[in-house]
Amino acid sequence: MRKLWIDGEFVEAAGGATMTVVDPATEEVVDTVPKGGPVDVDRAVAAAKKAFPAWKKVSAWARAELLVEVGRRLRQQKEDFALTLTRETGRTLRKNRGYADWSAACFDYYAGLIRERRGRVIPSAEAGQLNLVLKEPLGVVGCIVPFNYPLMLLVWKVAPALAAGNTVVIKPASQTPLMTLDLHRVFDHLPKGVVNIITGSGAEVGDALVRHPDVPCIAFTGSTAVGQHIYRLAADRMKKLHLELGGSDAAIVCADSDLESVSRAVAWTAFLNAGQVCTSAERIYVEQPVAAEFLERFAALTKKLVVGPGMDDKTEITPLIGRKERDGIESRVALAQKEGAKVVAGGRRPAHLPKGFYYEPTVLTNVRHGMQLLREEIFGPVAPVVTFKTFDEALALANDSPYGLGATLFSNDPRRVRRYFEEIQVGNVWVNDPLVDNPAGPFGGMKMSGLGRELGEEGLEEFLQTKHVHWDIDATPKSWWYPWTPGA
């Protein structure tokens, strides 16, 4: 059994409780981890708070070197991390190796950025004065992460938070805590208490972290419902919040695009990680003249995708994270069918995989804009296809969603591309090449998809606060500045 990692030590949960982790591909228990509670949160926050003053003073150069070492260790141990990730998430080993590399690159990126980071000197009103704009870390940052990308989404928070000089307390999702607990191996060259890792339920550990008076900042990725809850709780202490929430991304397929490659790209963005990607395409809008041909190609391709365990190199579609999630997708497809939707591919559990939380990649047609399926996030391998007549209509449909996380346009018409990136109401805008992230490219949502940005310079800024310093070096207050001074 693994242990919590607090103040550089391995400890059991104060209450002695444990929870099990299940492999989504086999439904078997793979390990047991401590089920922490508020007392453990107190311990972890106290350790992070104690470590903060010294860590804040470590020079940016030295901090950068330490972060580069984190990246090096991640690369070096990626095989091990990838294997654990596959066991707990069900995702393919191949992909998990790639995410380990990507995450290492993220540490390198923020190490580079912090070396260059500086405040600024701004003009002063008088000679003998100095005006400075300073950027300072916030203190202890609570990092709360969802199940779908346990490593990458953690690194998008922890790398900039540490680079900025904060200390962190990490809480992974209950379904996927294993690799996160193993991460002490990449952080144990940092001073004790700079990184702390605790497991437990969101309702206990997550909630206690958000409410904690010594945690001034929460960086959260997860559902919009939990994000709203955190937003409300954080108001009491006016905490700085960074919220990456749900999405219902549109993909717009224009008649001028190459349908062969676009069908593949749409399958990629709709079904990657069994559709459990916040920016997966969940509404496919296709221009009428090519709608029938696109649907035929897309459905044929979907039927060929190999569903299976992540340990198998041939697998393209892995299981959903749990039974509840798989059953939820199943009932949403059934409801859509009741409302008139037609299944043209998938729409059931694969017969050859009686164990595991699998669901076939599914293409639906005959869907109407008002259906629940198109209004709420799907988070499974389901792609509803809708036809549009004009580009105005496509943009209006894409924008008519409570969410604003990402969107993809497939078109080679520069006038359409420009209108799209100017008018689309999302934070992540892809043209012809969906789901591509970039360490320097800020990632985040508009509307109900969240607040703030991860990655890029903006991702560092989230973990800094600003001070303006006015210093009269001569220490001679100017008389015009104090007109009420007696005798002036």
Complex with ligand NDP: residue 44 or 344, whichever CB lies closer: 44
* Amino acid at site 376: E
Complex with ligand NDP: residue 245 or 345, whichever CB lies closer: 245
Complex with ligand NDP: residue 206 or 381, whichever CB lies closer: 206
CA-based nearest residue to 307, from 231, 380, 359, 268:
359
d(CA 364, CA 332): 12
What is the closest distance, in whole angstroms, from the C-beta atom of residue 233 to ligand NDP in the complex? 8
DSSP state of 327: H
Complex with ligand NDP: residue 330 or 377, whichever CB lies closer: 377
What is the closest distance, in whole angstroms, from the C-beta atom of residue 205 to ligand NDP in the complex? 7
What is the closest distance, in whole angstroms, from the C-beta atom of residue 48 to ligand NDP in the complex? 17
Q: For residues 174 and 88, is the Cβ–Cβ distance under 8 A? A: no
Q: For residues 357 and 90, is the Cβ–Cβ distance under 8 A? A: yes
CB atoms within 10 A of CB 119: 15
Complex with ligand NDP: residue 200 or 347, whichever CB lies closer: 200
d(CA 155, CA 168): 12
Query: Does the annotation mark 316 as catalytic?
Result: no
What is the closest distance, in whole angstroms, from the C-beta atom of residue 94 to ligand NDP in the complex? 20
Long-range contacts of 7-12 (CB under 8 A, 24+ apart): 7/43, 7/44, 7/47, 7/50, 7/51, 7/192, 7/193, 7/196, 8/188, 8/192, 8/193, 9/192, 10/184, 11/40, 11/43
Residue in the structure block whose two tokens are 């391995």: 10
Complex with ligand NDP: residue 6 or 343, whichever CB lies closer: 6
**Structure-token pair, residue 338:** 């009741």
Complex with ligand NDP: residue 92 or 257, whichever CB lies closer: 92
Residue in the structure block whose two tokens are 């922890």: 158
d(CA 472, CA 96): 55
Closest residue to ligand NDP using C-beta atoms: 202
Q: Which residues share a beta bridge with 242?
A: 219
d(CA 31, CA 112): 37
Q: For residues 45 and 209, is the Cβ–Cβ distance under 8 A? A: yes
Q: For residues 139 and 473, is the Cβ–Cβ distance under 8 A? A: no
- Secondary structure (3-state) at 281: strand
Complex with ligand NDP: residue 94 or 232, whichever CB lies closer: 232
Residues that bind ligand NDP (CB under 6 A): 144-148, 153, 171, 173-174, 201-203, 206-207, 210, 221-223, 226, 229-230, 244-247, 278, 377, 379, 405, 445, 449-450
Complex with ligand NDP: residue 50 or 211, whichever CB lies closer: 211
What is the closest distance, in whole angstroms, from the C-beta atom of residue 230 to ligand NDP in the complex? 6
The strands making up 129-137's β-sheet, listed across from edge to edge, are: 120-122, 129-137, 464-472
Catalytic residue among 244, 287, 325, 360, which?
244
One-character DSSP codes across 59-82: -HHHHHHHHHHHHHHHHHTHHHHH
Query: Does the annotation mark 143 as catalytic?
Result: no
The residues near 22 (Cβ < 8 Å, ≥ 6 apart) are 28, 29, 30, 175, 322
Catalytic residue among 106, 254, 278, 282, which?
278
Complex with ligand NDP: residue 165 or 434, whichever CB lies closer: 434
Burial 125-145, CB ≥16 within 10 A → b, else e? eeeeeeeeeebebbbbbbbbb
What is the closest distance, in whole angstroms, from the C-beta atom of residue 163 to ligand NDP in the complex? 19
d(CA 160, CA 455): 8
The strands making up 362-365's β-sheet, listed across from edge to edge, are: 342-345, 362-365, 382-388, 281-287, 249-253, 406-410, 428-431
List the catalytic residues. 244, 278
